[in-house]
Amino acid sequence: MSQQRHGSTPGAADGVPAFPDLPEATIARLPEYLRALHHLAETGAETVSSEGLAAAAGVNSAKLRKDLSHLGSYGTRGVGYDVALLVDQIEYILGLDKNRAVCLVGVGNLGHALAGYAGFASRGFRVVALFDADPKKVGEQINGLTVQHTDDLERVAAEESIAIGVIATPPGTAQAVADALVAAGVTSILNFAPGVLSVPSNVDVRKVDLAIELQILSFHEHRKASLTALPGGRSAQPASGDQEVVGS
């Protein structure tokens, strides 16, 4: 998972930099705030307190206020945050107003599930192309898209201005797929295949590995069991912190 910080860039309105210097952990929480804000907006809420938004997003309110202060958003005392305004600010910072084009490489078990997921569109992304190296998969229709051969990746990436590539191929082919995506001009990669990808410094890679998440939960199970096994049977509950996101 890349851990780059995002430097300030001049040129934004109202004294708020276009790209404030955001800690990676803050960036990771912004989508949670956005999800909670969209839900609040759907219920008709026009404002929300920091405590209310923090509870809905599953973080503590001090952390939330600090995160939002990085965006220049402080809320109004006694009123809270304007829901619609905060949605706009977070969507702007995350670049979701760009409706970026995404392609998926590897249409096997996982790729099928991802390609069939309708939720990407509502979160600001267009899945515009599916690729596989297996000729038997080429031509298959999934969610209105036709699976294309990876030989066509470079051409299609240019035609569709693909910004983000998702890798759902076996681990042994993931590096070659990443190389092909980079050669096609893709500068952000979401990698589901286990292992580390080597990419140029201008390419951001994020990795999703559910097995790692399970292993981290296993550690917490182990820790809780060892705490309760201590003489006197200490509580297994953490003393503080966000229970719902262990390790964040």
Ligand X SMILES: NC(=O)c1ccc[n+]([C@@H]2O[C@H](COP(=O)([O-])OP(=O)(O)OC[C@H]3O[C@@H](n4cnc5c(N)ncnc54)[C@H](O)[C@@H]3O)[C@@H](O)[C@H]2O)c1
Residues making contact with ligand X (CB under 6 A):
105-111, 131-134, 137, 150, 168-171, 173, 176-177, 192-194, 208-210
Minimum Å gap between C-beta 205 and ligand X is 13
Residue in the shown chain whose Cβ atom is closest to ligand X? 108
CB of 108 to ligand X, least distance (A): 2
Q: Which residues pair with 47 in a beta bridge?
A: 82
Which residues, 6 or more positions from 143, have their beta carbon under 8 angstroms from its beta carbon? 115, 116, 118, 127
Give the Cα separation of 227 and 23 in Å (integer): 32
From the number of C-beta atoms within 10 Å of its C-beta (0-12, 13-18, 19+), residue 173 rates as middle
110 is in an annotated binding site: yes
Question: Least separation, in Å, of the C-beta of 105 and ligand X?
Answer: 5
Q: Which is nearer to ligand X, 210 or 239 (CB)?
A: 210
φ, ψ at 121 (rounded to 5°): -60, -45
**111 annotated to bind ligand:** yes
Instruction: Decide whether 45 or 133 has the Cβ nearer to ligand X.
Output: 133
Answer yes or no: is 80 a known binding residue. Answer: no
- In the complex with ligand X, the residue whose CB is nearer, 51 or 213, is 213
Output 29 or 137, the one with its CB closest to ligand X.
137
203 assigned to a ligand binding site? no
Closest by alpha carbon to 105, among 4, 39, 5, 186? Answer: 186
The least CB distance from residue 20 to ligand X, in Å, is 31
> DSSP per residue over 41-91, as a string?
HHTT-SEE-HHHHHHHHTS-HHHHHHHHHTTT---BTTTBEEHHHHHHHHH
Q: Which residues are annotated as a binding site?
A: 106-111
